[in-house]
Each structure stands twice: as C-alpha cells, then as structure tokens.
Amino acid sequence: MNAEQLRQLERVLGYTFKNPSYLQEALTHSSVAGDPLNSNERMEFLGDSVMGLIICRSLYDRFPTYREGDLTKIKSMLVSRKTCAQLANDLGLSDHLRVGKGTDKCRALNGSIAAGCLEAVIAAIYLDGGLDAAEAFILRQFEPLIEQTNAEQHQNNFKSVLQQYCQKVFNRTPVYELLDEKGPDHNKCFEIGVVVDHRRFSSAWGVTKKDAEQLAARNALIELNVIAAEDYCV
C-alpha cells in the first residue's frame, strides 16, 4: 500500500495511524504471508474481543431494562460474520487486503475473510490509538445497526416492548393474569389480561398462555397509543 492509498483508507476509516505498520499487518491475509504469524490472524483474535467488549458495553448502557437473553440476541446479530463482512465491504477493506493467488477470486473474500479483516482493522486501531480510538471507530460503524437490529429483534415481541415502556413511563412492571380457559386438556384456549399500575387493559385469547400474553400486551400498547392497531394486524 502506497502513501496515497494509506491516506485514502484512513479517510474512509476516520482514523489516522501513528504507526501504519499496524494497518499493513491487518490487511495481510495468511494466504500471502507465508508465516501465519506475519498475517492478520492474531489481530483478528484481538479485534474480535475488543469489538465484543465495546458492543456489549453499548448495549448495556443503551438498554437498561433488557435482560441478559435480550442483550445476547442483539449482540449475536451485530457481531455475526455476515454483519462484519457487510461492514468490511461497505468500507472497501477487501480492495486493500493482500491475499494469495486464487484467494482473490474466492467467495470467502466477501464473507469470512472480509469479516476477519474488519476485526483485524479494529485491533490495529486499538493497538495504535488505544481503547477510545477503537470505541469511536466501532460505534461509528455499528450505531446505525444497533437500533435496526433491536427493532427487528423486538418487532412483534409485544411483551418486551410493553415492559420497557411501562418501566420507563410508570416505573412499573406489567402483571399478566389468567382470566379464563376453555376446552379439553389437549386443546385448551386461554384468556389473559394485563394490569399496569392498577389499570386493566383489554384481555386476549390464545392457544397457549404465551400467545395470549403477547396479544394482551399488544392490546395494552394500542390502548396506550404506543403502537397503531393497523400496523400490527393479527
């Protein structure tokens, strides 16, 4: 990589290296390095951990009412190989990656290799500028995806949305009550109602208690004007 290419990539990354050799190493794939110790493999290892730490801290701070399982699901989608590969390709990292003959036509170049390259670049920034520099870079790339991934994760998880809303607005947790059940043991239906701070909302029936709770939470969200009924037809 010549000086002009380096400056161009630094502009894309939004970071100027004090020691450009870190970036050179991050862009050197094992297929061209000869000795794996001279490739970006070790940087991939480090960058993966740095990325995980920053993403976890961001989710922890952003979603204070989420339980461990919710946070884990969102984090898993964010740091997946598919997401990292897409971000790497958006940054054009594959265009600067040094690979061996044949690898340049490999499908993995835009998949797992690209994802590993992003992790290596994160490590390079961390080694060169410290955790603050790495955090700034990671959040610039992932911020737009955090809200999108959260929305996709909870699109129809009405119980989760209702809990977050009620804790934020009323400082209360919704309570679900079994009001009725009908049918034989092998084919029951359940009626569930939800109560928030002594306010009762329209109940709902479901073939399982879990389904009925989701529909009852949906009714509550509609009555609270948090969602529109026509946007969540069931």
The secondary structure of residue 194, as a DSSP letter, is E
Residue 171: how many CB atoms within 10 A of its CB? 8
Say whether 119 is catalytic.
yes
Chain position carrying tokens 């490739």 = 39
Measuring CA to CA, which residue among 201, 177, 180 is closest to residue 189?
180
Measuring CA to CA, which residue among 200, 233, 197 is closest to residue 216?
200
Catalytic residue among 119, 128, 135, 191: 119
Catalytic residue among 25, 44, 48, 191: 48
What's the one-letter identity of residue 14? Answer: G
The secondary structure of residue 203, as a DSSP letter, is -
Say whether 213 is catalytic.
no
What region does 196 belong to: left with phi over 0, alpha with psi -120 to 50, or beta? beta
Measuring CA to CA, which residue among 49, 53, 29, 47 is closest to residue 120?
47
Residues tagged active-site: 48, 119
